[in-house]
């Protein structure tokens, strides 16, 4: 009964803030999700085969389910939706529940990133206040800052691509940094295999798609990868900069100053982190929000702000973020700006 009362109170806040009910599908094509949203989802999903032998899953994530529905309706307008339902996912922690009751909001086709990021976080915070949960804490990250740092570094393009691609796999990412630090590149046999594949694909239809990418795009990536030098002189310095960046941990109102000091200390370009408008906006909510550059690496589709809200017992009661590339990976012809968040009803506790 208590959870029902919580839900009703939270939904009132959602509706007051202009969000409209949407009911995403419970059953989804599992291979479709894995191919388009990242391999990390495979270990989370509860899968089975339907009568035709097709691999299906119970939705592991309501954001993805909402995006798929959005694309099915061919919507091309700004859509502010909320949902109420269950997500089904495995966990390596035996104490975690497989079924998670969630209430969430999404702004799909977001027109003003900074304002919409703030809107989503404020709506979630106001919902939590409505059910009188006190002593909450908030952690925030912004994965786009890592992208900006990597873009600014003077390292071969092949290394930039690797570090971006594997940022979501912390253990493997650390292994990459160790290899970069010791100037140990890929096995020469792998390079030769790349060349062989490159030559084979040059003879194929350039507009044909493989894994949701045109062959021409794949060849362009291969070309850059093979032309880059195998090593460079400042590898240890670069790794030190990356590791130092990922250790930044400060209150959100001190982030701008902290990043300026980081840029100055490491002789980086002054405009590396020139646009911090979204972070500055979030600081209006609570200057004590903790910002960590190493935060938000467990879900691959995030592209910008990521946040989590915890109760007094340090249980996560809400999480969300910006995911501008997800709708394209799910089938849209272009990136669609999007941001959202969900409250985990199972962890609500006064």
Among candidate residues 208, 249, 252, 201, the one with its CA nearest the CA of residue 222? 201
Q: Tell me the per-residue pLDDT of 55-68, one tens digit each, with 9 for 90 and over.
A: 898 888 899 899 98
The string over 77-97, giving b where at least 16 C-beta atoms fall within 10 Å of a residue's C-beta and e elsewhere, is eebbbbbbbebbbeeeeeeee
Dist CA 129 CA 138 (whole Å): 14
Given a cut of 60, is residue 338 above it in pLDDT?
yes
DSSP classification of residue 51: T
Q: Is this prediction's pTM over 0.75?
A: yes
Buried b / exposed e along 231-254 (16+ C-beta atoms within 10 A): eeeebeebbebbeebbebeeebbe
Q: Which element (helix H / strand E) includes 88?
A: strand 79-88
pLDDT digits 0-9 by tens, 106-118? 999 888 888 999 9
Over the chain, what is the mean pLDDT? Answer: 85
Does residue 227 carry a pLDDT above 60? no
Backbone φ and ψ for 134, nearest 5 degrees, come out as -110, 175
> What's the confidence (pLDDT) of residue 226?
57
Q: Name the most confidently modeled range: 158-162, 184-188, 224-228.
A: 158-162
Burial of 345 from C-beta contacts in 10 A (0-12 / 13-18 / 19+) = buried
| Conformational region of residue 53, where left means phi above 0, alpha means psi within -120 to 50, and beta covers everything else | left
pLDDT band at 333 (very low <50, low <70, confident <90, very high): confident
In whole angstroms, give the CA distance from residue 310 to residue 292.
15
Predicted pLDDT at 261: 95
DSSP 8-class letter at 84: E
CB atoms within 10 A of CB 346: 16
Task: Tell me the Cα Rg of the chain.
Answer: 22
Reply yes or no on whether the pLDDT at 186 is more than 60. Answer: no
More confident residue, 90 or 322: 322
Confidence check: pLDDT of 257 > 90: yes
């Amino acid at each position: 009964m208590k959870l029902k009362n919580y839900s009703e109170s939270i939904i009132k806040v959602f509706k007051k803030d202009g969000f409209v009910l949407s009911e995403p599908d419970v059953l989804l094509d599992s291979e479709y999700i894995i191919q388009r949203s990242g391999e990390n989802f495979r270990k989370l999903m509860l899968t089975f085969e339907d009568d035709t032998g097709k691999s299906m899953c119970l939705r592991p994530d309501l954001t993805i389910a909402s995006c798929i529905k959005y694309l099915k309706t061919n919507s091309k307008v700004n859509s502010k939706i909320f949902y109420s339902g269950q997500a089904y996912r495995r966990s390596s922690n035996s104490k975690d529940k497989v079924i998670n009751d969630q209430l969430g909001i999404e702004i799909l086709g977001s027109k003003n990133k900074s304002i919409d990021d703030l809107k989503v976080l404020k709506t979630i915070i106001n919902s939590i206040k409505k059910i009188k949960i006190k002593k909450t804490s908030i952690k925030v990250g912004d994965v786009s800052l890592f992208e900006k740092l990597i873009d600014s570094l003077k390292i071969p393009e092949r290394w930039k691509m690797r570090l971006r691609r594997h940022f979501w796999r912390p253990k493997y990412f650390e292994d990459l940094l160790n290899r970069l630090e010791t100037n140990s590149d890929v096995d020469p046999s792998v390079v030769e295999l790349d060349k062989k594949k490159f030559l084979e694909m040059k003879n194929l239809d350039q507009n044909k798609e493989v894994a949701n990418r045109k062959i021409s795009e794949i060849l362009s990536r291969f070309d850059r990868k093979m032309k880059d030098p195998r090593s460079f002189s400042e590898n240890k310095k670069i790794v030190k900069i990356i590791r130092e960046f990922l250790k930044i941990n400060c209150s959100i109102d001190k982030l701008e100053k902290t990043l300026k000091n980081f840029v100055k200390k490491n002789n980086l370009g002054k405009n590396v982190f020139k646009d911090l408008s979204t972070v500055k906006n979030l600081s209006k909510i609570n200057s004590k929000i903790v910002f960590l550059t190493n935060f938000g690496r467990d879900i691959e589709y995030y592209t910008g702000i990521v946040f989590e809200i915890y109760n007094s017992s340090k249980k996560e009661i809400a999480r969300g973020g910006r995911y501008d590339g997800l709708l394209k990976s799910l089938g849209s012809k272009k990136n669609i700006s999007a941001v959202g968040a969900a409250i985990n009803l199972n962890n609500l506790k006064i």
